Amino acid sequence: MSLDKTLFIGTATPKPVSLPLKAILDHYAVIRDAMARTGCVKPHDLPTLVVNTSFNYAFNAYKSISLLLPELYHESGAAVLRQLWEVSLNLHWIGVDPESRSQDFCNFTIMEHRKLISRSGDPTELQAFDADTKRLQERFQYQTKKKRIQRHEHFSKNDIYDRASKLGDPWNDEYQFVFRFASMHVHGAPGAVLRDVFQTIYTHPKTREQNSASLIAILAIKVMVRNVELLVTLDIIPDASKVMEAFKSFQETIPSEGTKLFSLLGTANYLR
C-alpha cells in the first residue's frame, strides 16, 4: 500500500505558516521568571499545603518543557505537557472545595500504597495494612449493584473526563484535544509515532518540528497562567501582576497567521 493512499487523522492540505518559536520561547522564559519571583504565603493548613505543593509540581513540569523545546524534542514535550495539564486539572478540582478535596488528595496516598503492597505477593502484609487503614479506605470504597465492594481509582472518585466536564471550559474543551493528543505521545501510540510521516503539508521537517514545539509551548503557558490565577483567587499568591503583564506581552506575539494554522489542527481556541 502506498503512502499517498493511506489516511491519517490530522492530515491537512493548506500550506502552513511558520510560527515564531524563538520569540515564543523567549516569552516562555520571561513568564517563567515572573512566576519564580512571585511570592506566596507559607502553608498554614492542609489546603494551602496541597495547593502550593501541586503548583510547585506543575511549575517544575513547565520548566522542564522549556529544556526540551529549544532542541525540538516536541514528542517528549507533549508527554510532559500531559503531566502539567493533569496536575493542573487536579489543582483546579481541589480549588473548588479546598478543605474537603485536599483531605481526599492526601488520604488517597493510602490507596496508592495499598496497590503497591497488593502487587508484592505477600497477603499477610496486605491484610495487616488493610486492618490498620480500614477507616481511611472506606472513604474511597463503594458498593456495586451486585453488592460487591470496589475501590475508586482516583482521589476525586471520578475519572479525568468527569473532572474536566464538571470543571467546564477550558478544561472540558482541552480534554478533547490537549489530553488526548498528549496521551498519544505518553503511550507511544501509532498516532504519535507516525504523525510526522503523514503531515505532508510541510515541505521541510524543521518547520513541522518548530510548529509542533510552538504548539506545546503555547498550551503550557496558558495552563500555567491559569494556575497562577487560581492561587491569586485562593489568596496564596498575593500579587501576580508581573506574570499577567508578561502573559499579555506573549499574547501579542502570536501572529494572526498562527491562528489559521492552529485552526487546521483543531486548536484555535487555545490561542485566545
Residue 143 parent element (H or E): strand 141-143
Tell me the C-alpha to C-alpha distance, in Å, between residue 150 and each of 16, 100, 101, 145.
50, 22, 20, 11
pTM: 0.84
CA angle, 69 then 211 then 31, to 5°: 50
Segment 51-99, tens digit of pLDDT: 999 999 999 999 999 999 999 999 999 999 999 999 999 999 999 999 9
Cα–Cα distance measured from residue 223 to residue 92, given in angstroms and rounded to the nearest whole number: 11
Segment 52-62, tens digit of pLDDT: 999 999 999 99
Could you tell me if 243 and 38 are in contact, meaning their C-beta atoms sit under 8 angstroms apart? Answer: yes
In the predicted model, what is the mean pLDDT of residues 245-264?
68
Segment 187-203, tens digit of pLDDT: 888 877 877 766 666 66
